[in-house]
Amino acid sequence: MTAALDQLDRLYALPVESIATVAVERHEDEITEFNREQLDKGLDSDGRSLGSYASRKYKGRLRPVDLLDTGAFRGSFNVDAQTGGFVVDATDSKTQKLTAKYGKAILGVSDENKPAIGEWIKDELISEIEQEL
């Protein structure tokens, strides 16, 4: 009985929040790629359309807004793990201008992609639990 109680104590002592943070940090590239893929479709993280480019000259042909011109904005995406989740942000100088025009939801992942991220976090937790037992 004491061994089982010791195992329970070790489980309760697991730093779940920091394990989740590490999982998010390990998968930063995949998370930011989810954001880029949404933009490729002309959608924000809420699934709303960003519209279409108005000038054929600007993007060559009419197509959805993808916020890809030089690639600097999309290349500056990063993930900040926070208590209870994470935030996708961008460090490019155009970030404030673009979020003002298209909304803050241009940064983030859709509900469609959140289960995959949850699986990564779950896998990290299971791995840590297995190591403790």
Q: Which residue is associated with the tokens 């995949």? A: 30
Query: How far is it, in rounded angstroms, from Cα 18 to Cα 124?
Result: 11
**Contact between residue 128 and residue 19 where contact means Cβ atoms under 8 Å apart:** yes
The predicted model scores a pTM of 0.82
Paired strand residues for 77: 90
Residues with Cβ within 8 Å of residue 92, at least 6 apart in sequence: 72, 73, 75, 76
94 burial level (CB within 10 Å; 0-12, 13-18, 19+): middle
pLDDT tens-digit series, residues 23-80:
899 999 999 999 999 999 999 999 999 998 876 665 556 788 999 989 999 999 999 9
